[in-house]
Structure 1
Amino acid sequence: MPFDLAKANPLHGNPLKTRQDLSKALMDLFNPLLPYFSEGGARVRLSAFGAIFDHPAADLEGFARPLWGIVPFAAGGGEFPHWELYRRGLANGTNPDHPEYWGDVSDRNQRLVELAAIGFALALVPEHLWEQLDGTAKQIVSAYLLTARNLEYIDNNWKFFRVLVDLGLERVGVSFDTAKTVQYLDELEDFDIGEGWYRDGPVRRVDHYIPFAMHYYGLIYAVLAKGDEARATRMLERAKIFTKDIRHWFGPDGAALPFGRSQIYRFAAGGFWAALAFADLEALPWGEIKGYYMRHIRWWANRPICDRDGVLSVGYGYPNLLMSESYNSACSPYWAFKFFLALALPEDHPFWQAEEAPAPHFAEPVPLAKPGMVAMHTPQNVVILASGQEHDKMRGSHEKYSKFAYSTRYGFNIEANDRHFDAASFDNMLGLSDDGVHLRMRETLEEALIAGDKLYSLWKPWGDVTVETWLIPANPWHIRVHRIETPRPLHSAEGGFAIPRADFNRDQNETSAGRAVWFGASDTSAIVDLTERATRAGHAQLAIANTNLIHARTLVPQLRGAIAPGRTIFMTAVCALPENEGEAFLSNVPAAPDIAALEDLFKRTGTRVTAFDIG
């Protein structure tokens, strides 16, 4: 290609095969931050745009989040040349009399999040960040941390942040009341829903916070905590069981499944594999664990994820504010440094000595019962069918949690305009409108069930409209059945997978009654109406730019049609494959299922999805 935007990525060109390669990657990612440290070392400011919290808290993010990688690097013998900068910043940031003071901590405040990295540093490498402070600085820092750990944390993975601060305080000899630590640890364990899965609080969802937060911090605790062996054993056992499921959230090329919130943390998703190694937990053969880990960072090395100066951008596969959350500042992406936890291990650890093994291929669909998902391993991709989860408190939350299918290869689109029905992508969604302008989709759920490798959900886009959806794997296709009850006419548009769009309009499409196919430069995406006497028309949708997480421009095949008052049934087959897999799949569309048989199956064997079953 004439322009390689990935060259601004500090990982670009690094083979990322060895421990030494990862050490270089860490420093190459950190060094672009140095010009943006304040004179007193306490603050890093990368942009003028804001987050829900104030700028000083965002500046603290820029200071603290790189420590997630720097600390294990140093613990493993790496030479980090900027400890004096960090000691100066820590002393000044916690000092109310210094102009770079981070600000007072308060209940449920962002500063509580960032102080966990400092607690981790004190626990693992106190010789670099604590022991060389003078007595006054130590008193100021410890007072700030003690104040923070006595406050109220959000009722989710945040509770680990007090635990991590406490591990640091304990390591450097600062006394505190451990009752609060035990309380939060007990409450965190109460989020356990079985088979290694947690909820991230009292909510109807599970996402990447389970591997890169709940298990990640739990495994660190299991290694560093003293005198709590029974709890550590439980945490290790849950992680071991969980590994068998979460591996299906990683594609054969190393891509993680884009699903849920906080995708801007990018390769933090691979931190789970590092945490297994850190805890010396061979949940899979070391070669497989190392393979998942190293393939993941190599996938990111070829993405334009940085600004021109090498600073990580807000976005996923490219800079993109549309997909961000209100709690994302310009410094937030540096939670990605959690990936580097494995650098704490010496070169002779079995993890580093193992030869990378490829990801196992699973020919049959794999039910993931706790999150209400079914994994299908397709060529160069993993497709996850999803019963649907809930998070209605952020931009794009329905797209992040409630689509019918997610993909490691194709990502997903976020709607850019909820007042332009005809322009919406509706990739792996059924979009509805009662006025042809505003749009609805699967959002909150009334019910979510799983029966073997099939899924069911009941949802109400309006109070008087009910939709039942069944999802059925038919690898490489999947089938959707929708039964819609409405008292008034509706417009509908249902989309397939979003695939990359080529320049110069080189992509081709075929549309007809009940069928739409996009033939892209690298992939083919199809959607077919299986409904008897199908009335929907095929449509080749050009998605609004910058709505997909991985590709800035995408194509989505759609079926569009009117829904009359009363009962309507839609049956749909959907598939997307890389172009080099050929187009034979287009001639092998699966047959329509029997709704009565589906209903009978769920009546006999359907169980409520645990992640959804709360309250």
Structure 2
Amino acid sequence: MTIPFQLPPEDRESSPYTGWTRAHWEAVADGLLAAAWRWSTPGGALLDLPGRPSRSGVRSDGLEGYARTFLAAAFRVAGARGDDPHGWLDRYARGLAAGTRSAGHDDPESWPLILDHHIQGQPMVESASVALGLRLTTPWLWKNLDADVQDRAEQWLRGALRHTPAANNWYLFPYTVAGFLESVGRGDAETAAARERARELLEVWYAGDGWYADGDGRAFDHYNGWALHLYPLLDAHLAGADPEPYGPRLREHLRGFSLMFGADGAPVHFGRSLTYRFAAATAIGLGAVTGHTPLTPGTSRRLASGSLRHFLDRGALTEDGLLPLGWYGPHEATLQPYSGPSSPYWASKAFVALLAPPDHPLWTDREEPAPVEESDRVLALPSPGLLVQATRADGIVRLHNHGSDHMRPGEGETAAADDPHYGRQAYSTRTGPTARGNVADNHLSVEVNGCGSVRRRIHPLGAGQGDGWGWAASWHRPVFTAGSPMVPGLRVESVTVARGCHELRVHRVIGAPVNSRTTHTGWAAGPGDAVASTLYGLHGWDQESEPVRAPQGTAYTRWAQVPRLVGRAGGTTVHVCLAALTAEPVGLEEAVADVVVDGGGVRVTWAPDRAISRIEFGPVRVVLLERAP
């Protein structure tokens, strides 16, 4: 795809994997900003980008355009130590003055007020971007503002401290606002309280392995990198403060998260707000800038530049240079109701990498391979309940989800609230989930009286790994799409064992009514994916898998099909299958030699080395024996 603005020549000597350097990052930031500013109001307070409005309305969307692009400009100028050849900060200073002059009024420039999240909450999100932008550019923007503009900006920002955030990463928005106000000598008890509350919640939400839940519950996704790690650690870095415990936690997070990028630069397509695209690389850049990373500078640049280039090379920009709502191009099924035309510009967070100056090793060291390019890897993350599987030959990374469900404690489980971005059992860097209304990919469904089930609340049962293999397990109560939402006593226990490119999937269905049935699907692939999806029934299925159409496709392909197995259920039954997502189809004989199911569990003999996996239930335990006797 053609990128609609000029880039420097590639440098394959220092960047053998991507060809991109720091100059490319600056050029992309400038190109994105120039395109977005064509849609500004005369006073520069709002950027009314084209597209369907969000549920917050067009004025809030216009503020979002200003605030999120301001992040890109702030990282760009701060990283250049104030050099601003395109005059971005003059534009944002003018817009700040216009937007706060009569905030809350219905005129062409005024910013909406910040209210509680359930009333008019979106401006609270944007206040953090405004505050962070001002903090990063304090010597060149804030200090040159008239005193009355500074006072108006403070008054508007304090709305974030005086209203209730959503019960998740939103608490870091008043934290960031308060951090800015304190940094310019405007702190008080109100700012201190906002920061203390956010710190308290971060301790509650920290699960281990470098992962935070996004609020109470078990929502683990990309918000870890572009919000939950970013705000507190960047705040400490800018203040020159003690980074504990946030620095060590980011380091631990990156040990696993760095494996979640494919050889083509794609992040794992998992969780909400995926329209932020290359913001997925934010934590990589943050680690390099702050020094809290296990990665070498060359590996960090390869991952970050690879992710940025991945999207730009695949049509993520319009002909006018804008980021549309979607994944590559527009894609409605990727979106959430809160997304508006400016939402994709949270991708600006990736430009935190520009805070590393030109002479930083992030830019001067030679690029090194991404983790997926070095060797096959299987990594178990017990705290979030995730299992990561990467294969060097095809550069694909798969994420098996046995712990992230986007459910709040006390929230009722209904099929109507099924979320394809969390409820599926596996995600990857080369496929996306199918849309609602199509057959669900990577899904075990129990069907009772013709009604199928979805997976909502996920209860982890453990995860572990050995040399070249790993496993994760969970259980859930099936929730039905029609009739009674649940069947009393019905429960599904699921185990994934990853070895090489193979995924052994074992399910024990407990308490199913007589004459029920189960279906299991594999990966969704289409003619544009250049990947092969295979699914073999090993036990508990009536026939070989058959392809099922998903005509709405995925974020990767306009049309897809999904392999599906069908089996009978009733009482307690065990169902075993082998799935794979690879560049070329995988034959069953290449993977499994024998399967034995008995009352205690499942015993699988792998081919060709004759190693044995033993999966036991009650409690779940997985062991790998080196050789069959």
> Runs of 5+ in structure 2 lacking a partner?
11-18, 409-414, 480-485, 603-613, 623-629
Change (3 A) 1:193 1:150: same
**Alignment counterpart, residue 409 of structure 1, candidates 402, 421, 430:** 430
Asked if the contact 2:32–2:321 (Cα under 8 Å) also holds between the matched residues in 1, the reply is: yes
**Which structure 2 residues correspond to residues 483-494 of structure 1 after superposition, within 5 A?**
483-484=508-509, 485-494=511-520
Check 1:212–1:326 CA distance in 2 against 1; reply closer, same or farther (3 A cut): same
Counterpart residue number, 2:113: 104
| 2:196 equivalent to 1:182 | yes
Residues 190 and 441 of structure 1: is their aligned pair in 2 closer, same or farther, counting only changes over 3 Å?
closer
Q: What is the TM-score with the length of structure 2 in the denominator?
A: 0.84
User: What is the rounded CA distance, in whole Å, between the counterparts of 2:428 and 2:126 in structure 1?
Assistant: 31
- Structure 1 residues 148 and 459: CA distance shift in structure 2, 3 A: closer
Task: Provide the C-alpha distance between the structure 1 equivalents of 2:452 and 2:620, rounded to a whole number of angstroms.
Answer: 34
Q: Could you tell me whether the CA contact under 8 Å between 1:146 and 1:176 is conserved in 2?
A: no
* Pairing partner for 1:119 from 131, 151, 157: 131
CA distance in 1, matches of 2:328, 2:130: 29
SS class of match (1:489) = strand
1:387 CA drift (Å): 1.1
Specify the SS of the correspondent of 2:504: strand
Q: State how far apart, in whole Å, the 2-side matches of 1:52 and 1:396 are.
A: 18
**The one of 68, 84, 95 aligned to 1:65:** 68
Instruction: Find 2:163's aligned residue among 145, 151, 167.
Output: 151
CA contact (8 A) 2:615 2:621 kept: no
In the TM superposition, what is the alpha-carbon distance from 1:314 to its structure 2 partner?
Answer: 0.7
- Identify which range, 585-594 or 90-99, moves more after superposition: 585-594
- Is residue 536 from structure 1 mapped to residue 543 from structure 2 by the alignment? yes
Aligned CA distance change for structure 1 residues 352 and 47 (closer, same or farther; 3 Å): same
Residues 12, 542 of structure 1: alpha-carbon distance in 2 compared, 3 angstrom cutoff? farther
Matched residue type, 2:515:
P
SS at match of 1:190: helix
Matched, 1:220 2:225: no
1:466 alignment counterpart = 491
Q: Report the CA distance shift for 1:206/1:23 in structure 2 as closer, same or farther (over 3 A).
A: same
- 1:30 is aligned to 33
How far is the alpha carbon of 1:446 from its aligned partner?
Answer: 4.9
Which residue identity does 1:24 align to in structure 2? A
What amino acid is the match of 1:102? Answer: W
Q: Which moved more, 1:386-395 or 1:306-315?
A: 386-395
CA distance in 2, matches of 1:176, 1:268: 32
Quick check: 1:370 aligned with 2:383?
yes
**Which of 395, 414, 425 is residue 380 of structure 1 equivalent to?**
395
The one-letter amino acid paired with 1:380 is: G
Letter in 1 for 2:564: Q
Conservation of the 8 A alpha-carbon contact between 1:399 and 1:413: yes
CA gap of 1:207–1:85, structure 2 versus 1, over 3 A, is: same
Q: In structure 2, what is the equivalent of residue 523 of structure 1?
A: 531
Residue of structure 2 aligned with 1:500, choices 507, 513, 526:
526
Q: Kindly indicate whether structure 1 or structure 2 has the higher relative contact order, using CA contacts under 8 Å at least 6 residues apart.
A: 1
**Alpha-carbon distance in 1 for matches of 2:328, 2:272:** 15
Conservation of the 8 A alpha-carbon contact between 1:426 and 1:493: no
Whole-angstrom CA distance in 1 between matches of 2:422 and 2:525: 20
Matched, 1:88 2:71: no
Residue range with higher mean Cα deviation, 353-362 or 325-334: 353-362
CA–CA distance in structure 1, aligned partners of residues 570 and 346 of structure 2: 49
Which residue matches 1:570? 575
The structure 1 residue matched to 2:453, chosen from 440, 443, 446, is: 440
Pick closer, same or farther for the CA change 1:306–1:397 going to 2, 3 Å: farther
Answer whether contact 2:183 2:239 (CA < 8 A) is retained.
Answer: no
Q: Where do residues 326-337 of structure 1 align in structure 2 (5 Å cutoff)? A: 326-337=337-348
Q: Which amino acid aligns with 2:221?
A: D
In structure 2, relative to structure 1, the CA distance for the partners of 1:434 and 1:308 (3 Å cut) is farther
SS of corresponding position for 1:306: coil
* Cα distance in 2 for residues equivalent to 1:396 and 1:501: 30
Query: Match for 1:50: what amino acid?
Result: P
| Mapped partners of 1:93, 1:475: distance in 2 | 55
Q: Kindly tell me: are residues 343 and 153 of structure 1, through their superposed partners in 2, closer, same or farther at Cα, counting changes over 3 Å?
A: same
Work out whether residues 221 and 271 of structure 2, in 8 Å CA contact, stay in contact via their aligned partners in 1.
yes
Which whole-Å CA distance do the structure 2 matches of 1:241 and 1:537 have between them? Answer: 42
Q: Does 1:431 align with 2:445?
A: yes
Q: Residue 517 of structure 1 aligns with which residue? A: none
**Contact 2:258–2:284, Cα closer than 8 Å, also in 1:** no
Which residue is equivalent to 2:257?
246
Over residues 352-387 of structure 1, what are the superposed CA-to-partner deviations in whole Å (9 max), with x where a residue is unaligned? 111111023343522111111222212320112221
Output aligned runs, 1:392-407, within 5 Å.
Answer: 398-407=419-428
Amino acid of the residue matched to residue 470 of structure 1? V
Matched, 1:258 2:255: no
Shifted more, 295-304 versus 128-137: the winner is: 128-137
Gap regions ≥5 residues in structure 1:
1-5, 418-423, 503-519, 608-615
Report which stretch shifted further, 144-153 or 157-166.
144-153
Per-residue CA distance 1:446-489 (angstroms, 9 max, x = gap): 55433543222222224223222221113211111222231153
Question: How many Å separate the matches in 2 of 1:250 and 1:396?
Answer: 29
CA contact (8 A) 2:534 2:586 kept: no
Query: Which stretch has the larger CA shift, 490-499 or 588-597?
Result: 588-597
8 Å contact kept, 2:402–2:460:
no
Contact 1:106 1:151 in 2 (8 A): yes
Alpha-carbon separation, structure 1, partners of 2:556 and 2:9:
21
Q: Which segment drifts farther, 323-332 or 309-318?
A: 309-318
Cα displacement (A) at 1:529:
0.6
- The question of whether the paired residues in 1 share the 8 Å contact of 2:433 and 2:554 is answered with yes
The separation in 2 between residues aligned to 1:439 and 1:9, in whole angstroms, is 46
Q: Distance in 1 between matches of 2:8 and 2:531?
A: 26
Q: What is the rounded CA distance, in whole Å, between the counterparts of 1:457 and 1:136 in structure 2?
A: 57
Q: 1: distance between equivalents of 2:158 and 2:268?
A: 38
Q: Which moved more, 1:232-241 or 1:180-189?
A: 180-189
How far apart are residue 13 of structure 1 and its match? 9.3
Q: 2:625 — aligned with what?
A: none
- Contact 1:118–1:168 (CA<8 Å) still a contact in 2? no
Q: Which amino acid aligns with 1:263?
A: L
Deviates more, 1:319-328 or 1:125-134: 125-134
SS of corresponding position for 1:187: helix
Alpha-carbon distance between aligned partners in 2 of 1:390 and 1:363, rounded to the nearest angstrom: 27
Secondary structure at the aligned position of 1:188 is classed as helix
Which segment drifts farther, 33-42 or 443-452? 443-452
**TM-score, structure 1 normalization:** 0.86
Quick one: which amino acid aligns to residue 54 of structure 2?
A: A
Q: Does 1:477 align with 2:502?
A: yes
